[in-house]
Amino acid sequence: MKGKYLLGGLLMAILGAAIALFTYTKIVETPSGVVVKDSSNAETPEARALLTAFQNQPGQVDFTYAAEQTVHAVVHVTTKTVVETPYNPFMEWFYGNRYNQPREVPGYGSGVIISPDGYIITNNHVIEDAGNISVALNDNRKFDAELIGRDPNTDIALLKIKATNLSFLKYGDSEKLRIGEWVLAVGNPFNLGTTVTAGIVSAKGRELGLLESEYRIESFIQTDAALNPGNSGGALVDTKGMLVGITSAIYSPSGAYAGNSFAIPSSIVGKVVADLKEFGEVQRAIIGVNIRDVTPEEAEKQNLAEIKGAIITDVREGSSAADANLKKDDIVVKVDNVAVGSASELQAEVGKRRPGDKVTVSYYRNGKLSSVPLTLKNVAGSTAVVTPGMGIGTAFGARFQTLSDSEKRSLRTESGVKVTEVGDGWFKDQGVRKGTIIINVNGKKVNNAEDIRQAADNNEKSLKSIEGFTPDGRYFNFRFGN
């Protein structure tokens, strides 16, 4: 009996030694912690990111995998813009005709490759008004870039270069980002070359008032990752190297990094880019209301549990909202099953959809919660595809921007739009220039491009008169035809 116990003990000892030896070959103890050897074949981003996290020292986060995946997919964007010099007779007297000649202004930013065949996302403000756009890859190859389309309302533009087998980034899910989660910003600040910085998600759904369009969509991801001039259009990625945003702005008194950086969420970027790639124009769905954030007084009046939602201040005739019988002072709190806590969140949620999509809107009216189905429409009031030239902010080949309150006060007008771009179409044919202010079309006040289209019944042949101010401030009132 005693021999059996001795034999059993010997077998247990041998088994224990074997296990210890096997374990030692997989784990190496170091004075600073435990290091896991990479003997696997991790193929997915999730597996590889998890492995690098295991390999890292206790209490630290490893960014090497995300950085390696990103740096070769971020490019440097260079632009050249021809700027007209305002006529100045005194400067011409001193310096001659050369002073009043157009001059070429260089610009730069970043971009993100999203496909192996050369589609690149950047910010609209990086390439706006540029006559020439070029791209430099991380391996120093340079290409001329074609502008596929742009959307000033989200500050997104899509470029294309002639190249193949490029490194690129896949979209991540910005909706699943959590406050406090680590992210990387990759771009080209100060034209130094590709640079990686890290930070955490500080907030989501930020509205800054940076975009001036009436139809702007601002729902920024705020981070404390360092961004500086030249980062615009670069990538914001999670620790798996997935694209969760396009870096767009910093909030700083000096113009350089001061702790607050902002990126456009990939949930918005992906939809805008898909539209530009397929149609050349964003298929923007709208409800057809004017909205603003809810005040504490309005929330109390409607018996809201929280001061959240978007209150309707006006319903446009013939819009989706009018068809669904939404009314002034209704407070929208949900689109489908997604809660909206502010006017910017409502705009962002609707902006992810296309005209013709059906949604259910939940709202409070007189303290009672109700829901109503509605079909989203485009800016022209239909569900048809929007073609280049009839998108938000455009009318008859030109692009317009609503005047600010200060501009209206300086011009002593209650209405008006500024011409920000003139393409092929009626306004170009009539000699209308960038910077022109239009306050009246066919005897009707205008405050946006949609007003101009409606005043002309969506037909440029119906344009009979325009009233406004030239770029140098002179009043005009032109009439056309009979």
Question: Could you say which of 134, 213, 219, 232 is catalytic?
Answer: 232
Q: Is residue 155 among the annotated active site residues?
A: yes
Question: Could you say which of 125, 219, 267, 344 is catalytic?
Answer: 125
Distance CA 342, CA 126 (A): 28
Radius of gyration of the chain, Cα coordinates, nearest whole angstrom? 28
Longest CA span, the chain? 121
Q: Is residue 232 among the annotated active site residues?
A: yes
| Residue among 283, 213, 286, 199 nearest 245 (CA) | 199
Question: Could you say which of 110, 134, 151, 155 is catalytic?
Answer: 155
Residues acting as catalytic residues: 125, 155, 232
